[in-house]
Amino acid sequence: MIDYNYETDFELSSEARISTWLTQAILNEGFELGEISYVFCDDEYLHKLNVEFLNHDTLTDVISFDYSVGELIQGDVFISIERVKDNAKTFDVPFEDELHRVIIHGVLHYCGYKDKSKAEADLMRDKENQYLDMLKGLL
């Protein structure tokens, strides 16, 4: 089950389509969907979590807390809509594309993908692109 919570003035245009996409991605990676909660918030909300739980005094676009057990994917994904908007402008991509990228990014971490090294980050980006293409096919 995937839940969507809104702590800012924003709502996804199609929660059902996003849920179908995420579920397919999880199954494609060989895992099972447990419970994932997405929280869409602002910079202040996410910065507070970043400082409190990760001891990082910086702004970020996404933080994911992984509660997965074995093959069962579970967790909380917090996304700053302000950061996503700024990043979309910086990278010159549509807001929705950048939003979908951070939405799948959290799930890919739960599936074991990392992004600390250049090689890991490249693989993560390839996987993000693969699943962004899949989402376009669901339109």
* 47 annotated ligand-binding residue: no
Cα–Cα distance, 109 to 6 (Å, whole number): 22
C-alpha triplet 116, 34, 77: angle, nearest 5° = 45
Cα–Cα distance, 92 to 87 (Å, whole number): 8
* 100 annotated ligand-binding residue: no
* 86 annotated ligand-binding residue: no
Specify the residue for token string 């990760």. 54
Binding positions = 105, 109, 115
Binding residues for Zn(2+): 105, 109, 115
